[in-house]
Amino acid sequence: MRTVKIILEYDGTGFNGWQIQAQPNRTVQGEIDSALKRIFKENVRCIGSGRTDSGVHALEQVAHFKVTTRMRAEEIQKALNSILPDDISVLNVEFARASFHAQFKAKRKTYQYVILNRTTASALERNRCWHIPQKLSLTSMRREARALIGRKDFRSFMASDPAGGSKEKNTIRRITRLDIRKKGDLILIEIEANGFLYKMVRNIVGTLVDVGLKRSPQGLIKELLHRKSRIFAGKTAPGQGLFLVNVGY
């Protein structure tokens, strides 16, 4: 039995998230598992570094599976890419130690959220950004974002998980970097942490947008962290603007 580590990118537009579901919804994991079954003639479960929601994209998602095979890594990569749909691409395949686990061995993750901040929407990039026509104050957003850096209880930024168990989760996480920069008409928010709660990045972005639109008072983020309640934070930013950039081990 060999442990196979894969790195893949996908356009999340046509998927109901990463995780395979009981109902017949199209998921990234479902497509990969189906391709693996065709290649190895048996049921093989691919485990990702974490779930991405409906519409969320990945530049470098990491996953692994275990299988008995004599195929070389490059042969597995070629076989997968010949079967997988066009909105998923396997960038790299390698054999890992038996103890490797894409989810449990992950030390950090980096996400980027893309906001199109101009009057007119984009016909071409509508599935890869959140269009906000009103001018955003990056100065206000950056000032408030500083309160998120470090080891904090992010319960206020955790959505209720439909899979259950959210109340029992450890909601302490460490954000090591949060950058907000402007690139033309785009505002890019990049967050690196040792892990993320359910919809944590999207809830942080939604709250920072309220700050940027001057809808929220100064000191909001500190107050939210203190209150530890989701009901006081901003709305959840839409999934299509979010990208999983990479995963560190």
Backbone angles phi, psi at 207, to 5 degrees: -70, -40
pLDDT in tens, 66-87: 999 999 999 999 999 999 999 9
Distances from the Cα of 149 to the Cα of 122, 146, 193, 242, angstroms:
32, 6, 9, 20
Helix (H) or strand (E) holding 72: none
Q: What is the average per-residue pLDDT within 49-62?
A: 97
Q: What is the average per-residue pLDDT within 173-197?
A: 97
Distances from the Cα of 123 to the Cα of 2, 10, 12, 28, 116, angstroms:
45, 20, 17, 25, 12
Q: Are 171 and 152 in contact (CB under 8 A)?
A: no
108-248: CATH topology is: Alpha-Beta Plaits (3.30.70)
Active-site amino acid positions: 53
Question: What pLDDT does 161 receive?
Answer: 62
Same fold, 2-96 and 108-248: yes
Question: What pLDDT does 7 receive?
Answer: 98
Residue 3: pLDDT above 80? yes
Taking the domains of the chain in order of start, what are their residue ranges? 2-96, 108-248
Distances from the Cα of 235 to the Cα of 153, 206, 211, 242, angstroms:
19, 5, 12, 15
Question: What pLDDT does 169 receive?
Answer: 77
Residue 190: pLDDT above 50? yes
pLDDT in tens, 115-130: 999 999 999 999 999 9
Question: What pLDDT does 123 receive?
Answer: 98
CATH class of 2-96: alpha beta
Question: What pLDDT does 162 receive?
Answer: 56
Residue 165: pLDDT above 50? no
More confident residue, 39 or 232: 39
For the four alpha carbons of 79, 84, 90 and 93, in that order, the dihedral sign comes to negative
Share of the chain above pLDDT 70, in %: 97
Share of the chain above pLDDT 90, in %: 88
Whole-model pTM: value is 0.94
Name residue 156's amino acid.
Answer: S
Residue 167 confidence class, pLDDT cut points 50, 70, 90:
low
Q: What is the dihedral of CA 16, 21, 24, 30, to 10 degrees?
A: 80
Mean pLDDT value across the chain: 94
DSSP code of residue 52: -
Residues 6+ apart with CB under 8 A from 183: none
Q: Are 95 and 73 in contact (CB under 8 A)?
A: yes
